[in-house]
Amino acid sequence: MGLFDRFKKNKRLETPVDLSYVGCDMHSHFIPAIDDGSKTVEESVEMITEMHNFGYRKVITTPHTMSDYYKNSSATILAGLEDVKAKVTENKMPIIVEAASEYYLDFDFERKLDEEKLLTFGDKYLLFEISYMNPPDNLFHIIFKMQMLGYKPILAHPERYNFWHTEFQRYEDFIDKGVYLQMNINSLSGYYSLATKKVAEQLIDKRMISFLGTDCHHIGHLKLMKETIYEPYLKKLIESGKLLNDTL
């Protein structure tokens, strides 16, 4: 074992973090065949079973809604939810399954805000994401409009937007404007990049994370979580008292 390996090993927790303290996951892709997540209802049940094994008592699954690629609607998502819930009940799994969506802020999102009743969870929380290439020019206009319509916007995985990694003030701007931040649990493993992991840790140090999500798309994400639960910063986040997952 090299020096780097010993150092890395020493940083890990001896006892894994108990995710039952999180209670509810509010970002995943468990409805089959409607986005880049689960492909079959059997795969959905396999992943939800693993979530239960981690200690989660509830999952709010959030398929993508995009105008060009994953053209989901409330109707398609809720229909898929019923299929998953029926299979979960058939397997006698003691876990609650609900659904909302992860909305992509594209050219058509403002129309959706004006004309549709969007899927939310908890106290009208609305999960949204943006392009990984660059933020939309009208980002804060759209956020303000969400809030004026009574939604409480949650920015999905802010640590993954590379264009803000050297502009930490941008994250503080979101907090100042009343936007909640949701971190992906596997960001703390270095899965997306070491830079993403570093920013995730900074956000935890600054007590800026309100929601922790798995963003689980496939069983590989859950296998990785079995390693991530030994990360010290995951423990720090859960012990921060800032997470709102268990209020959902």
CATH of the domain at 88: 3.20.20.140
Residue with tokens 């989901």: 72
Secondary element (H or E) of residue 99: strand 96-99
Q: How many domains does the chain have?
A: 1
Q: Is residue 2's pLDDT more than 70?
A: no
The 10s digit of each residue's pLDDT in 103-126 is 999 999 999 999 999 999 999 999
Q: Does residue 146 sit within a domain?
A: yes
Mean pLDDT for the chain overall? 95
Per-residue pLDDT, 11:
86
Q: What is the pLDDT of residue 10?
A: 53
Where in the sequence is the domain holding 55, given as residue range(s)? 13-247
Residue 169 forms part of a structural domain = yes
232 within a domain of the structure (yes/no): yes
> What is the C-alpha to C-alpha distance for residues 120 and 122, in angstroms, rounded to an integer?
7
Instruction: Report if residue 133 sits inside a domain.
Output: yes
1 domain residue, yes or no? no
Q: At what angle do helices 41-54 and 74-90 cross, to 10 degrees?
A: 70
Mean pLDDT, to the nearest integer, of 76-94?
Answer: 97
Give the gyration radius of the chain's Cα atoms. 18
In a domain, 178, yes or no: yes
The alpha carbon of residue 77 and the mean position of all alpha carbons in its chain are separated, in whole angstroms, by 17
Mean local confidence (pLDDT), 210-221: 98
Q: What are 173-194's pLDDT values in tens digits?
A: 999 999 999 999 999 999 999 9
Range list of H helices, 27-177: 41-54, 74-90, 109-115, 139-148, 169-176
Residue 3: inside a domain? no
Whether the per-residue pLDDT at 8 is higher than 70: the answer is no
8 assigned to some structural domain: no
Which pLDDT score, from 0 to 100, does residue 101 have? 98
